[in-house]
């Protein structure tokens, strides 16, 4: 087993702005190996009157990862963060519930330095001499979480690869299915899931178009899971969110950086439903909505891989990368 890190690309222009939403495309070449994580580091130097309320990762509105023409991630947020929100953000929630890690160096709310690390589970075996990366990503207006009078003076967006020959699963997040719900109705939602050899459906990410749940008492029934409607908080129990498992960067009104992180039991408007390695195919849900709203349903899929062998010094700690196990870690089926 070997774990190594490789810096792939660094840009000082592809960063959030305080003049509205922005989007970028970074293209670069990598190196071969079994890439367990794509690690995205976002550094910012702030100016003006800073009043940070949550992690800067809450600003991320879209993320599309293409490697050698193969789309591995095609994710978009259901909504932009609310002004001065203390919620962790859709992207943070998403990564932290599928075996990734979105963590920010704790800082006081008036701090002018931001340093955020986002580990994106990939599990791809990169072949050839120079695998090609194309990454498209977007940010909401940075003032939404930095304070209305803050400015972004400078910064950098850096991509690293963590190679791990013991990685066990490849992760793929396909385009979401949108559905316009009617208030006080239970409606059938068919989430489109492409048929891909070897992949199973481990979870579905449900995002509302606002930071509110807006579900009725019957919640969501996944036909493959239950014959009965399941309350939303029961789904949060199944994914262990009720166990205070969501860590949030919350620098609001803090006077020391040690108190700038808290734990919460849910992310309003966003829900991950574990599906326990369901056979890949279109997923049917019965959704009871209490409001007229639009929700977005992203399938999260994984498959087994075999790590490549490399001639490197042998490390003695076995660290298998397995996003499927991470998704299931809050349930009773953990192996």
Block mean pLDDT (10 aa), the chain, length 335:
91 96 97 96 97 95 96 95 91 93 92 96 91 97 96 98 93 96 98 93 96 96 94 94 87 78 89 94 96 97 69 49 66 52
Q: What pLDDT was estimated at residue 264?
A: 86
Q: Which of 169, 185, 219 is the C-terminal boundary of a domain?
A: 169
Instruction: Note whether 253 and 181 are same-domain residues.
Output: yes
pLDDT of residue 328: 63
Structural domains in the chain (count) = 2
Residue 88 tokens, joined? 């962790």
CATH of residue 38:
2.60.120
> Residue 242: CB partners within 8 Å, gap ≥ 6?
233, 236, 265, 266
Residue 120 lies in a domain: yes
For residue 295, the enclosing domain spans 176-303
218-239 burial string, b = 16+ CB within 10 Å, else e?
bbbbbeebeeebbebeebbbbb
Contact call for residues 328 and 203 (beta carbons, < 8 A): no
Final residue before a domain boundary, out of 111, 136, 169? 169
Measure the CA–CA gap between 194 and 206, rounded to whole angstroms: 18
Q: What is the pLDDT of residue 261?
A: 85
Closest CA to 117 of 72, 55, 26: 55
Domain membership of residue 87 (yes or no) is: yes
Give the CA angle between residues 8, 98, 162 to the nearest 5°.
25
Tell whether 267 and 131 lie within a shared domain: no
Question: Does 84 share its domain with 31?
Answer: yes
Please indicate, yes or no, whether residues 79 and 155 belong to a single structural domain of this protein.
yes
145 and 32 share one domain: yes
Token look-up 């998403």 returns: 94
pLDDT (0 to 100) of residue 1 = 57
319 lies in a domain? no
Enter the pTM of the model: 0.88
* pLDDT score of 244: 86
């Amino acid at each position: 087993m070997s774990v190594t890190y490789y810096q792939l690309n660094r840009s000082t222009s592809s960063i959030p702005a305080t003049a509205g939403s922005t989007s970028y495309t970074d293209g670069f070449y990598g190196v071969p190996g079994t890439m367990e994580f794509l690690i995205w580091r976002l550094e910012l130097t702030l100016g003006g009157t800073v009043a940070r309320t949550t992690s800067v990762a809450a600003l991320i509105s879209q993320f599309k990862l293409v490697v050698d023409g193969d789309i591995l991630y095609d994710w978009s947020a259901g909504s932009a963060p609310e002004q001065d929100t203390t919620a962790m953000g859709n992207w943070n929630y998403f990564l932290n519930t599928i075996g990734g890690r979105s963590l920010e160096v704790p800082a006081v709310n008036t701090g002018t330095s931001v340093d955020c690390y986002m580990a994106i589970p990939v599990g791809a075996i990169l072949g050839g001499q120079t695998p090609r990366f194309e990454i498209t990503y977007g940010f909401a207006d940075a003032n939404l979480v930095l304070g209305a009078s803050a400015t972004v003076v400078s910064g950098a967006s850096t991509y690293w690869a963590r190679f791990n020959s013991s990685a066990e699963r490849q992760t793929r997040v396909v385009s979401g299915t949108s559905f316009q719900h009617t208030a006080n109705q239970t409606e059938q939602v068919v989430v489109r899931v492409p048929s891909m050899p070897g992949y199973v459906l481990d979870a579905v990410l449900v995002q509302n178009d606002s930071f509110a749940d807006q579900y009725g008492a019957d919640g969501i029934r996944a036909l493959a899971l239950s014959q009965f409607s399941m309350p939303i908080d029961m789904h949060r129990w199944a994914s262990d969110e009720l166990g205070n498992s969501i860590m949030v960067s919350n620098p609001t009104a803090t006077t020391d950086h040690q108190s700038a992180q808290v734990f919460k039991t849910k992310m309003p408007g966003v829900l991950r439903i574990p599906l326990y390695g369901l056979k890949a195919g279109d997923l049917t849900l019965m959704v009871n909505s209490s409001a007229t709203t639009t929700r977005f349903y992203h399938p999260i899929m994984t498959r087994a891989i075999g790590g490549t062998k490399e001639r490197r010094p042998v490390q003695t700690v076995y660290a298998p990368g397995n996003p499927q196990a991470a998704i299931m870690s809050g349930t009773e089926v953990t192996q």
